[in-house]
Structure 1
Amino acid sequence: MSSKLIHPPSMAASRGVISTRTGNAKVLLSFSNLTRKTVSFSDNSIRLRPMFVGNVKEQSSASATNEEEEEETTVSQIKNELYEALKGINRGIFGVKSDKKTEIESLVKLLECRNPTPEPTEELDKIGGCWKLIYSTITVLGSKRTKLGLRDFVSLGDLLQQIDIAQGKTVHVLKFDVRGLNLLDGEFRIVASFKIISKTSVEITYESSTIMPDQLMNIFRKNMNLLLGIFNPEGLFEISYLDEDLQVGRDGKGNVFVLERREIP
């Protein structure tokens, strides 16, 4: 009985391809039949080296440390850039240029992304005290500014927010200087109460308001509703950033407020 060795068909006849590479442990077999359907097999072998894994761990640890240092530095830098951007705009009350407004709001959003107090209403000791408004998107423009005398003889001074946590009260104080009345100063006080409605927000309810001294009241008497309409803090207020000396908040209308901690006068 004889044996016969059968050779595979020639490359040209079978339209097949056999490729072997032992150097990189890769084998590719491809055969095409008469219907031109192709079947391919590919084998790629990867060897993991222990020293490679160790390098990954070392890099991850170093990367985490760098990110923490970068975040801490970045918050400080953002605040410095924000203070610089707020110079010379009088808290934005009489409007700012669109590019400046965009710059300020971009910095505010960067701070909000790095909020160290994500649940501020559960840390009320950080909220209580006196805060000074250094920026707001609420503006007094055109006829409103003229009616309130803020264009000519009345100058708007500090805007303060005094928060009494124990009483659940806020007192907003607007300082005024009036030329020609020999007044050292005058003020508009708005008293409101607040209640916590979430871990980040409070509901503010207007209670009363007064203007002192009487001469200043006579100036604003006809426009009290206008004055309240602009500066009354009533409604939802969400604290979006809070640290030891800076607070950022947004009201129910989307207005932005940036406040800096001050000693109680």
Structure 2
Amino acid sequence: MATKLVQPASQVPPPVTRITKIITSHKSFLAIHPWTRNTRIDDGFMPIHITKVAEKSSGLVGDNKEMEQHEKDSRTVSQIKEDLYQAVEGINRGIFGIPSAKKSEIHGLVELLESQNPTPDPTLNLDKVDGCWKLLYSTITILGSKRTKLGLRDFISLGDFFQKIDVSKAKAINLIKFNVRGLNLLNGQLTIEASFKTSSNSRVEISFENSTITPHQLMNMFRKNYDLLLGIFNPEGWLEITYVDDNLRIGRDDNGNIFVLERS
């Protein structure tokens, strides 16, 4: 009996329940650990590095999208401008609204150009802004009852939009052309005069001065809703010049509107 009591501890087999717990613990550990092991438990752990398939495969959808985005971002400024010119074709400057997909396309191109602005301090280089510009695209829209009240659904159509900037006088003149059907193709325009002053290296503050509509027949048509018309096209507020080169200018105003203009 005494001999059995002093038997060495190393010869005493570990409890079966303890072994079961250890094996279970290893299985649980392997299930969530980024290393795996051989299928035979008693072979121990085998370190195998697992690499994401998406990182090696160039045929996956995610990879294709990343490659396409990289290609877009690597386009030259002239290529982006050409794409923008094509995107704004046939949309009447966006004044009567455009599909969301087209809007996203245009805004994406605008942002790409803004990120590569060759004139980061435009108000310190106002010679780049001086002259006459033609509006290609704007997020200002005339929809629903506004369009009906202004007669822009039926007998009055919009012509070109021009902006003349005289840096020497710190003046800006907006010209909005109109065509009236049924009155011997009467043509007229709304003229809005404003002054501006620089407030930062890229921003100008604009103050409305006066407006006129010519000829008087056109004024008679708009008289009832003149405040509505002026409220749409009044440039008062601030304008951030986000991109300008020798023939293209992009700006954003304090109402979140975007303007894309081409030198005329």
Q: TM-score, normalised by structure 1?
A: 0.71
The residue that corresponds to 1:90 in the other structure is: 92
SS at 1:189's partner residue? Answer: strand
Deviations, residues 129-170 of structure 1 (Å, cap 9, x unaligned): 000000000100000001111111001000000001111110
1:154 equivalent to 2:156? Answer yes
For 1:172, which of 151, 171, 174 is the aligned residue?
174
Residue 59 of structure 1 aligns with which residue?
none
- For residues 126 and 184 of structure 1, the distance between their equivalents in structure 2, rounded to whole angstroms, comes to 35
Render the CA deviation track for 1:31-56: whole Å, top value 9, x for unaligned: xxxxxxxxxxxxxxxxxxxxxxxxxx
Q: In percent, how many aligned pairs have the same letter?
A: 64
Deviation at 1:183, TM superposition (A): 4.2
TM superposition shift of 1:88:
1.1
Alpha-carbon distance, 1:184 to partner: 4.2
**Counterparts of 2:80 and 2:232, CA distance in 1:** 29
2:107 aligned with 1:105: yes
Specify the code of the residue in structure 1 equivalent to 2:108.
S
Q: Could you tell me how far 1:71 is from its partner in structure 2?
A: 8.4
- 3-state SS, counterpart of residue 105 of structure 1: helix
Match of 2:250 in 1: 248
Q: CA offset at residue 74 of structure 1?
A: 1.5
> Corresponding residue for 1:12?
none
Alpha carbon RMSD of aligned pairs, Å? Answer: 1.4
Match of 2:262 in 1: 260
**What is the CA-CA distance between 1:238 and the residue it aligns to?**
0.5
Structure 2 unaligned blocks of 5 or more: 1-71
Aligned to 1:138: 140
Q: 1:190 aligned to 2:192?
A: yes
**How far 1:182 moved relative to its partner?**
1.7
Q: Secondary structure at the match of 1:185?
A: strand
- Structure with bigger helix share is 2
> Matches of 1:84 and 1:214 in 2, distance apart?
37
Cα pair 2:73 2:112 within 8 Å, conserved: no
Letter in 2 for 1:181: L
Q: 1:213 aligns with which of 215, 221, 224?
A: 215
Question: What's the TM-score once normalised by structure 2's chain length?
Answer: 0.71
Letter in 2 for 1:162: K
Equivalent residue for 1:127?
Answer: 129
Deviations 1:110-146 (A, max 9, x none): 0000000000000011110000000000100000001
CA distance in 2, matches of 1:228, 1:84: 30
Mapped to 1, the partners of 2:199 and 2:74 lie a distance apart of: 30
More strand by share: 1
CA distance in 2, matches of 1:215, 1:106: 42
Query: Residue 228 in 1 paired to residue 224 in 2?
Result: no
Aligned AA (2:188): G
Aligned-partner residue type, residue 98 of structure 2:
V
